[in-house]
Amino acid sequence: MKTIIGLEIHVQLATATKLFCGCSTDYRDDEPNTHCCPICLGLPGALPRLNRKAVEYGLKVAKALDMEVPEESEFARKNYFYPDLPKAYQITQYDKPLAVAGTVEIEDDEGHEKLVRITRVHLEEDPGRLVHVTGGSKYSLVDYNRSGIPLLEIVTEPDMRSPQEARRFLNKLRTVLEYLGVFDGDREGSLRVDANISLEGSERVEVKNISSYKGVEKALTFEVTRQKNLLRRGQKVTRETRHFMEGRGITTSARSKEEEHDYRYFPEPDLRPLRVADWVAAIDLPELPVARKNRFMAEYGISLNHARTLTGDPKLADFYEEVAEIDPVLAATWVADTLLGELNYRDMDIAAVPPGHIRELLGLLKTETITDAAGVQVLREMLDACARGSPCESPVAIMKREGLGKATGSEYAPIVQGVIAANPQAVEDYRAGKKGALNYLVGQVMKETRGRADPRELGRIVSECIDTDRV
Amino acid sequence: MITESDIEHIAELADIGISKDEVPEFTTQFNAILDYFEVLDTVEGESAPAAGTANVFREDEPRPGLSQDAALVNAGSTENGFIKAPRVM
Amino acid sequence: MAGTLDFSPDDRYNAFITTCREAPFSDGRLAGVAVAVKDNISTAGIETTCGSRILEGYVPPYDAHVVGLLRNAGAAIVGKTNMDEFGMGSTTETSAFGPTRNPVDQTRVPGGSSGGSAAAVAAGLVPMALGTDTGGSIRCPAAFCGVVGLKPTYGRVSRHGLIAYANSLEQIGPMARTVEDASRLMSVIANYDPHDSTMLDKPYNHRPIAEIAGLRVGVPEEYFGEGVDPRIAKTVRDAVGVLEDLGAGTVPVSIPGMRHALAAYYVICTSEASSNLARFDGVRYGPAVDTRKSWHEAYQDLRRELFGPEVRRRIMLGTFALSAGYAGRYYAKAQLARRNIQQDFERAFRKVDIVAGPTMPTVAFRLGEKTDPLSMYLSDILTVPANLAGIPAISVPCGRVDGLPVGLQLMGRPFEDERVVDAAFAYEQEVRA
């Protein structure tokens, strides 16, 4: 049974000011109602003033998604009554949006490339934030700091066929938005998703309130199961709106009257139309993820997997390019595999890592001044210090302090002798042809040298020692 | 022809609140006005692109707004800097 | 020169909602001049009610742009004038603070919705006042009270701070006893404001000139037909005759779209109003909403109690006109009708420079006389076309019928407010002489 999924994504644009007034968008962690003015508070007589940068950002996204920008677009009022909506209407775009008809390329579940069509993108303002007070008396508390924040609404056609496809689409979209510099993914709530999902032949269900894009896969997976179960039991899927409860991983029926809303849209009389189709040609797009991935493979000679990983986050890709010079393939392995793993483990951001230090570490590895194992240790120490907020020691400094420099032959010759002498059985096994025995002996030497000896070299040395040492 | 029940429905849609005894008079008046509006059925023509200016913008530069006090000064009741409103279900 | 004006008017006509007993003033082209401001225009620190209980106690934290301009020009803002609630009416009888009485005859209405401003000027309490005109709300009271009132071209005066009734139709404008004073006030308020995206940067800075030789005056048949008191029609034709004596020529013109004008106007203004007035929820301003109730119940109860019946009627009409299933029939058609009327005027203005006719089809009615909403709306028939077309229109006194003032209405091309003012000035100077 085919699953049909469409998404509606709201993205907070990273402009300095709100969509219709000069209040700063940097309101997080601030006291309530401290980023307000007559316009975003909806005071009587206040008039909206459109932020040029929001339009530019919207057009940038439209161009990156290969969309058509109509000759004229306009704003409209969406009328409904809610305490977080100060004017009792939201200024949005209705039948004349900023751009229409675009595409995003993703991988389907079989690994083939497919296109997800983008129906439209349009600009609209965010409402304020409600806090619900329960208990003895029940009421709402409103904070209008968020009221008027610019949103770009991106609507897809129902082209996705599985929750995984939806997740891949969102990852791709999010990466593109970050590459364009129009969106700050680190800000909480900066990307919100509503999903429409149906099983072929059944009614469509809308799932709202998905605030993390990881939640999207969870919510949709739950829905697919729930809907399939209904049909299996001979019941029908009701056309309705459901809310996603992130903590419990389930969707529940919204029971609200949202379906019945008549928003009475009409063109916003306080704003003039937009004629910006001719702006598109002049928009310079930065190198987008797909192009950058291909360039990485061509220019640096790295693998598709590494290129994909590195270009999945523009900051990571930038970082890589800063450290790659000494040896791009070595750098790719260390950044994409090792460093990224260590960062994830520590819940750290790439921004906390000084590129110069990694360049230095790569230099030490390339010249074989330290072994891979020692390199990992140095990296871990460095990251731990950075995470603590202590000054990030350089790899050379850590290496010297911890004595992690590669052990020289003269250093470990006696250790090799010692290990051979202490493990006669293993030596016997080795002479008898058991290769595992050599690894065991090498391991013992590694332990003694605290990993500072190069295992490949060691293998040769131990076997030479044993061979020449025939007693 | 608008009925009294239609009037009540429109009042609901508009969240405007009319009392029961206002309904009959509102209904009569509404119908008279809508009868007059019927003349619009005879309007001819097709809609055309908007005349006048386009592309009126403001630059993306922060400007001082209201202090929290000024934002709250006219509010009926506030709590810890928030503005109090009736509960939504 | 700076100081405070001691303002203690004998307000027997109930022209004012708020008076500023000690009004500060400073230097400028209106230094020390007492100016009254209609109570739908935001004045920082001064209560602004729109004639409604739902804004009782609301003190705006900011000035409307025009108020800032008045202050910069040194004017003394002496009070906020009475008005029909939210501008919805033609008699100032729907004010929550009692009707204003016409100084010419206290048993009669002063017109509306800027009745308070007109009465304050007519009674000599102030030389100048600001009014607002959405469908005739400056010109109607000017005609009924025998003063001068100008509705500027749409987009010439900033609406920033004007508490909106119908955004695409309304303008703030000057009211005074003479054309010269009205023009002086217009020169102060008609300056560009980037806060208002619907404005054009075409400041007005004009001294009226009584020179109209060669002016072509259009006389539309629709302004002198059925529904217009024949004595008013005659009085106004005589006034047009004075213009001819001064060297103007008259040309018959026609505005066929007039037959749809009133319906189009009421659909558009009620639609916009239904949206504009939805923000009055008692949360951020106005008498507090009851937070013990649930949202919809609290909101409805507040609006039933604090909005008058005319306001609630128009909100319902507008909601209906925009609602699904009806928007095509009402709102869309009204916008078409509007465009047709604009084109009718454009056509006329190829043959003539100004258009002349009566401001109102009758003289001032008695207080309490018009109880039927529709018949009240019909009195706007001659004023709404200028709002629909966005063109400048002035009313200047041109005589009396039954002892009550009659207004001559002159309309012009967009942004030719100066020409309209000059024609009114020429007429006024001639009849005074």
Chain B neighbours (≥3 Cβ pairs under 8 A) are A, C
Confidence tier at A349 by pLDDT (50, 70, 90): confident
Give the Cα separation of A89 and C323 in Å (integer). 15
With CB atoms and an 8 Å threshold, state whether A269 touches C162: no
Question: Looking at residue A303, what is its pLDDT?
Answer: 93
User: Residue A50's closest chain C neighbor by CA?
Assistant: C197
In a domain, C424, yes or no: yes
Mind telling me how many Å the CA of C377 is from chain A's nearest CA? Answer: 23
- pLDDT score for A298: 96
Q: Which residues of C touch B76 (CB under 8 A)?
A: 282-283, 286-289, 291
Evaluate if residue A410 carries a pLDDT over 70: no
B20 occurs within a structural domain = yes
Helix (H) or strand (E) run with residue A86 in it:
none
Which residues on C lie below 8 Å from A140 (Cβ)? 295
Q: Residue A450: pLDDT above 80?
A: no
- Report pTM: 0.89
In Å, how far is C301's CA from the nearest CA of chain A? 14
Give chain C's residues under pLDDT 70: none
pLDDT band at A224; cut points 50, 70, 90: very high
Inter-chain touch C291–B22, beta carbons under 8 Å: no
In a domain, B82, yes or no: no
Domains belonging to chain A, first-starting first, are: 3-282 (no CATH), 289-402 (no CATH), 409-468 (1.10.10.410)
CA C382 to chain centre: 13
Q: Band of the pLDDT at A434, cuts 50, 70, 90? A: confident
Give the angle A188-A190-A194 at the CA atoms, nearest 5°: 110
> How far are the Cα atoms of A63, A70, A395 from residue A156, in angstroms, in the given order?
16, 18, 48
Counting Cβ atoms within 10 Å, is residue A442 exposed (0-12), middle (13-18) or buried (19+)? buried
- Whether B26 is in a domain gets the answer yes
pLDDT digits (tens, 9 = 90+) for C14-67: 999 999 999 999 999 999 999 999 999 999 999 999 999 999 999 999 999 999
Tokens representing residue B32 in the block: 């008279």
Q: Round to whole Å and give the CA distance between A78 and A91.
A: 6
Share of chain A above pLDDT 90, in %: 62
Query: Who wins on pLDDT, A461 or A327?
Result: A327
Whether A461 has a pLDDT exceeding 90, the answer reads no
Based on the residue annotation, tell me whether C26 is a catalytic residue of this protein.
no
Contacts of C297 in chain B (CB under 8 A): 86
Active site residue C137: yes
- For residue C375, indicate whether it is catalytic: no
Angle at A410 (CA atoms; ends A408, A416), nearest 5 degrees:
95
The answer as to whether B55 is a domain residue is no
Angle at B22 between CA B17 and CA B27, to 5 degrees: 100
Task: Specify the pLDDT at position A471.
Answer: 45
Domain contains C267: no
From A80-84, A410-414, C161-165, the region with the lowest mean pLDDT: A410-414
* Pairwise CB contact (< 8 Å): C313 & B30: yes
Is A31 within 8 Å of B81 when comparing Cβ atoms? yes
C103 lies in a domain?
yes
Amino acid C208 reads: P
Domain of residue B24 covers 4-42
- Sequence-distant (6+) residues with CB within 8 A of A387 are A346, A348, A352
Identify the domain containing residue C411 by its residue range: 3-259+332-432
Q: How far apart are CA A317 and CA A310, in angstroms?
A: 5
Yes or no, beta carbons of A50 and B82 under 8 Å apart = no
- Does residue B29 belong to the interface with chain C, where contact is any CB pair within 8 Å? yes
Q: Which helix (H) or strand (E) holds C216?
A: strand C216-220
Size of interface B-C (CB pairs under 8 A): 149
Q: What token pair was written down for B52?
A: 């006048």
E strand or H helix that includes residue A439: helix A435-448
Contact B65 A31 (CB under 8 A): no
Instruction: Name the domain count of chain B.
Output: 1
List, edge to edge, every strand of the sheet that includes A266-267.
A89-92, A76-79, A266-267
Q: To which H or E segment does residue A326 belong?
A: none
Overall number of domains in chain C? 1
In this structure, are residues A438 and A467 in contact, taking their beta carbons and an 8 Å threshold?
no
Q: Which of C52, C137, C183, C274 is catalytic?
A: C137
Q: What is the domain-level CATH number for residue C353?
A: 3.90.1300.10
Q: Considering the domain boundaries, does residue B12 fall inside one?
A: yes
ipTM confidence score: 0.96
pLDDT of residue A206: 94
Which residue type sits at A395?
P
Name residues 6-25 of chain B within 8 A of C (Cβ): 7, 10-11, 13-19, 22
Cα–Cα distance, A80 to A379 (Å, whole number): 55
Q: Which chains touch A (3 or more CB pairs under 8 A)?
A: B, C
Q: Dump pLDDT digits (tens) for A22-50.
A: 999 999 889 999 999 999 999 999 999 99
DSSP 8-state secondary structure symbol assigned to residue A347: T
Contact residues on chain B for A278, CB-CB shorter than 8 A: none
Q: Residue C302 falls within a domain, yes or no?
A: no
Which chain B residues touch A15 with a CB distance below 8 Å? 60
Catalytic hit among C42, C52, C113, C379: C113
